[in-house]
Structures are given as C-alpha cells and as structure tokens.
Amino acid sequence: MESKVLAVISYDGSKFYGMQKQPNKKTIQGEIELALNKLNINSIVQHAGRTDKGVHALNQVISFTIPNFWDLNKLQTSLNKIIHPYIHIKKIKFIKNDFNPRFNAKKRSYRYIISPIFSPHKADYETYYDKKINIELLKKAIKKFEGTYDFEYFAKTGSEVNNYIRTIYKTDIIEYKNKVILKIIGNGFLRGQIRIITNFLLMINENKLTIDDLQKQLNKEQLFTKHLAPPNGLYLERIWY
C-alpha cells in the first residue's frame, strides 16, 4: 500500500533548468525523482508551480506517493542527504490522495530582489540595476496590477493555458537596506508574468513607458513589451492552501 505526502522545499534555481522535468536537463523535479528512485520509491513528483531556469523558491510545494512503511523523519533525512546542497526538504507530511499541489493552491506569493550594487557572489540571487529607482512612482504603478484581469499581454508568448484570467490580491515595493524588493500575491501566475511585470515597471522607472501605457497593456488595448526581467532576482515565496 502507498500513501501520498506533501513536502515543502527550497532550492537554488541557478543550478537547474527550472522546476519541471525536461529531457537531458538537470531540473528540480528530475533530481527529486532520481533521489526517490535511489530509495526504491518510484513516484512522479507533482509541484505547485513551474519556476523557470534560474528562478529560486523559498517554499515550493510538491507531492508524491511512498510505500506505507516509510517513517517520514527518516525519509526527509535520507532525501536531504541525496539532494544536498541545492535542494532542501523543509517539511514533509501525509496528505489526502486527491491532493494536487498546483490545483489545490489558493494563493501564491513571489518576491523580486533588485540591487544597485553588483557583487559576483550575489549575481545569481539578485538582479543588478544601476539606475536610481523612483520608489513612489513604482509603488503607484504596481498597484495597477491589483484586481482580476486577462493577463495575456503579461505572459510569455506560447503559454499553454485555458485562459489568462488571474487575480492579484496584493502588491508592494519595499526598500530593505540598499535593495528594492517587489512583492506580489495572487491566486495564480502565468509563465513569465512576474518577470514581464518587473521589466515593465523598470521601463516606467526609466521614463521609457508610462503608467498610462501599463493600463493600456493591462486592458489589452495595446502591447508595448513582453520582455522579461532576469530570472535570478525572482523567488517563489509562499503558497497557501
């Protein structure tokens, strides 16, 4: 007999080609499935969100099935020894068999870290941006994203989804030490959505686009840009169920 478990994991996305398993590429899902196989557990890992290459996670949620004889503390320790040091299982618990980490999620939050100081030691973990940021302007701009919209113009071209309608509940821009951190909470996000939003905001900061332009693209009246900000500053922060 088998049971389903939920695990909360964190990972350094700079070492992988994203969350989702891909042929001949090192991915988080792929590495965890390999680790499970080493423990004679043949299970497909489900995940709450398909983060891109270079994107990090503080609290990604996954699920998989295990034989009933496993002790969860021992399983967590054994898996962490194999997947160390760039993936870490923070918590693991039993869950109902019909649980799906993606479709059962109610809310997700992301953060994007921008730094005015370049450091080669932090280059994979924050986005270097050498222009002065007009915090008040960007706080006003990011609030425009709050609400329910068809975000097709803020999604990667070629995204395979049934619809582009998503709700963003809360946004914020925080100054922390010398960094600027964007925070966005929503019911779900499209591929590339946070990075396209971030790039648009930085273009507003540079007076290359305006808040009116943002509203037009949000309303699908005009497409100005779908360029993505770099992945290294982006973190999947938390998922609510």
With 0-12 / 13-18 / 19 or more C-beta atoms within 10 angstroms meaning exposed / middle / buried, residue 29 is buried
12, 52, 124, 213: the active-site residue: 52
The CA-atom distances, in angstroms, between 86 and each of 9, 43, 60, 83 are 10, 21, 13, 7
Return all residues near 154 (Cβ < 8 A) that are at least 6 apart. 190, 193, 196, 197, 200, 217, 218, 226
Nearest to 171 by CA among 147, 151, 203: 147
Which segments are annotated as binding site for substrate? 110
Let me know if 12 is a catalytic residue.
Answer: no
Residue identified by tokens 């019909």 is 98
Which segments are annotated as binding site? 110
Question: 60 and 9 in contact (C-beta within 8 Å)?
Answer: yes
Q: What are the helix (H) ranges across the chain? A: 28-38, 72-83, 135-142, 193-205, 211-218
3-state secondary structure of 159: coil
Q: What is the DSSP pairing of strand 107-115 with strand 127-128?
A: parallel
Active-site residue list? 52
